[in-house]
Amino acid sequence: MMQGLGSVTLAAMAALLTGSAAAPDGEIVKAALTKRLPKTQVTSVDCSKVDGLCEVVAGSNLFYVDKSARFLVIGRVYDMQTRQDLTAARLLALNPDMLVGGAAKANSAADAPDAAPPSVGAGTRVTQAASPQRLDLSRLSKKGAIVWGSGSQTVTVFSDFHCGYCRALSQSLETMNVTVIERPISVLGSREVADLVLCARDKHAAVRAAYAQDEIRTGPKCDTSGLDENEAFAKAHGLNGTPVIVRSDGAVMEGFKPKPQLEAWLKGARS
């Protein structure tokens, strides 16, 4: 059963079976996964980020197990103190050019007991309706729009301030010659943050602070019904994930894209 494993893996497995603390947790968990999921090529294991859970990277996929490697967890880890989607941030680091929506799709593996775990974060949005090719934004009022930047080209972004991919997109747009019309929708429970940003005197600074998880300098209370309008529009058009980018001619791009690809797409706008 143990044939073919290296001496380090053998030592880690022995530590797992005997309860010895001589080997690091990640090494022990990796050895256990080698035994339980032999068809899965585990790239790395990190047990230091979330108490009680180990992050497992297998190629471009990400999942979690407990330190006994008995229980496998498919889904997202969300830090409620820092208000950060840890899984989204990690997936972006692993796959910077992937198309990502707000939810990852877990594709079940084969029936075999030693099958590989489901593929997590493969870049597929989970939606109930077909994604639109174009969107007509003309009926949306300005009340739910947060405008920043001063470029010659305009782009609308349906975003969530708790979304790691939206943060990465925002950072890319900061370096481009565009005017951004940000329309927040609460996919990850960010409505309170969006209220603060919409009512801030310096909305651009507030957007930056929101994505950085910094304190937002609030302004006086204001009418936030425009955010309800954003939510209703997104629901009506099947926008269940973020970010969703809408070009000036209504063309739609979903998920984060590298800056060169985004710039090329924006140049394709119809005049």
The pLDDT of residue 136 is 95
50 inside domain:
yes
The reply to whether 214 falls in a domain is yes
Ranges of H-type helices in 120-257 = 164-174, 191-199, 203-211, 225-236
| Domain final position from 57, 77, 94 | 94
Backbone dihedral angles phi then psi of residue 162, each to the nearest 5 degrees: -100, 5
Cα Rg, the chain, nearest whole Å: 22
Give the whole-angstrom CA distance, residue 94 versus residue 97.
Answer: 9
pLDDT at 23: 57
What was the pLDDT predicted at 180? 98
In-domain check, residue 103: no
pTM: 0.59
Look at residue 129 and tell me if it is in a domain: no
Decide if 104 is inside a domain.
no
CATH number of the domain at 181, please.
3.40.30.10
SS3 assignment, position 48:
strand
The three-class DSSP label of residue 164 is: helix
* Residue 75's CATH number: 3.10.450.70
13 with 89, same domain?
yes
75 and 154 co-located in one domain:
no
Token pair, residue 7, equals: 């001496």
Q: Do 69 and 149 belong together in one domain?
A: no
SS3 at position 259: helix
- 178-184 and 146-148 as β-strands: parallel, antiparallel, unpaired? antiparallel
Quick check: is 83 in a domain? yes
Whether 157 and 240 map to the same domain: the answer is yes
- Domain with 189 in it: 142-266
In order along the chain (271 residues), what is the average pLDDT of each group of 10 residues? 41 44 77 88 91 88 90 83 74 59 33 36 36 88 96 95 91 95 92 96 96 92 96 92 94 91 89 55
- Split into its structural domains, the chain has a count of 2
Domain closes at, from 37, 72, 94 = 94
Q: Is residue 110 a part of any domain in this protein?
A: no
The residue out of 94, 116, 133 marking a domain boundary is: 94
- Asked whether residue 74 falls in the same domain as residue 15, the answer is yes
HEC states along 180-200?
Answer: EEEEECCCCCCHHHHHHHHHC
Q: Is 92 in a helix, a strand, or coil? A: helix
Query: 39 lies in a domain?
Result: yes
Q: Which pLDDT belongs to residue 114?
A: 40
Considering Cα of 198, then 202, then 204, then 209, what sign does the dihedral take?
negative
